[in-house]
């Protein structure tokens, strides 16, 4: 399981069929990771949606991570879990998940949070919001060079999040980010599959240019 390329995060949708339709399109477009995040759903709806998404991600051979809810991640046998700063103890989550599952942590704009997360068992770290975000309008805004510093310090995947579009993603990719986490620019696009493909193309183009330069 890899954390690379487009890391799609689900929007808050009560309609499970609509959610699955959009996610299938994103996976068809090449999303390499999916995180299930629904801050407004009931526990029963979260379970229903997470189970359906796990089946869909299995079909596409894409890892599904559950946002915040460790018990739900275990219940649906998801590929892993993502924890925000106030959403649970990373070491305790790692102990319950075991070594074979993915565990990501939000580190906002702080390298020291990343150090603690990695020491506690996180295997990938996320920074942001790098740009203005409608999902979290008051989020802290780290400098882009934080990605480069984090990549030098930690030998694990670094994810960027927050207001990322095909127009501003190239500067994050150039800084060395492994994946860009996106909600709106993918799932509210008129053509979800095409939007996902555009992000994936940015990564592939960057890697091709690097290969030719070597």
Q: What is the DSSP string of 90-108?
A: HHHHHHHH-TTSEEEEEEE
Tokens at 98, concatenated: 């075991």
Please name the residue ranges forming H helices in the chain.
16-28, 43-60, 70-75, 90-97, 111-120, 145-153, 169-174, 184-187, 192-213
- Give the distance, in angstroms, between the CA of residue 92 and the centroid of all CA atoms in the same chain: 21
* CB atoms near residue 152 (< 10 Å): 9
Q: Which of 47, 136, 141, 151 is catalytic?
A: 136
Based on the residue annotation, tell me whether 184 is a catalytic residue of this protein: no
Burial bucket for residue 74 (CB in 10 Å: 0-12, 13-18, 19+): middle
Based on the residue annotation, tell me whether 209 is a catalytic residue of this protein: no
Q: Which of 22, 37, 46, 101 is catalytic?
A: 37
Q: Which of 22, 101, 106, 129 is catalytic?
A: 106
Bridge partners of 34, per DSSP, are: 8, 64
- The rounded distance, in Å, linking the Cα atoms of 17 and 214 is 46
Task: Kindly give, in sequence order, each residue whose CB lies less than 8 Å from that of residue 59, ignoring residues fewer than 6 positions away.
Answer: none
Based on the residue annotation, tell me whether 106 is a catalytic residue of this protein: yes
Q: Report, as residue numbers or ranges, the catalytic residues.
A: 37, 106, 136
């Amino acid at each position: 399981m890899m954390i690379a390329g487009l890391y799609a995060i689900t929007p808050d949708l009560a309609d499970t069929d609509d959610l699955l339709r959009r996610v299938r399109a994103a996976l068809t477009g090449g999303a390499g990771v999916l995180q299930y995040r629904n801050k407004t759903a009931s526990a029963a709806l979260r379970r229903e949606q997470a189970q359906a998404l796990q089946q869909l991600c299995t079909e596409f051979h894409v890892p599904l991570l559950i946002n915040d809810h460790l018990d739900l991640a275990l219940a649906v046998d998801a590929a892993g879990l993502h924890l925000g700063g106030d959403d649970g103890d990373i070491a305790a989550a790692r102990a319950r998940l075991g070594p074979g599952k993915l565990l990501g942590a939000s580190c906002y704009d702080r390298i020291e949070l990343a150090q603690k997360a990695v020491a506690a068992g996180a295997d990938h770290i996320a920074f942001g919001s790098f740009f203005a975000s409608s999902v979290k309008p008051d989020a802290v805004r780290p400098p882009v060079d934080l990605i480069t510093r984090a990549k030098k310090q930690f030998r694990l995947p670094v994810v960027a999040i927050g207001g990322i579009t095909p127009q501003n993603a190239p500067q994050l990719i150039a800084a060395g980010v492994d994946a860009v986490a996106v909600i709106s620019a993918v799932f509210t696009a008129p053509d979800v599959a095409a939007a996902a493909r555009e992000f994936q193309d940015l990564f592939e183009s960057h890697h091709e240019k690097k290969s030719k330069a070597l």
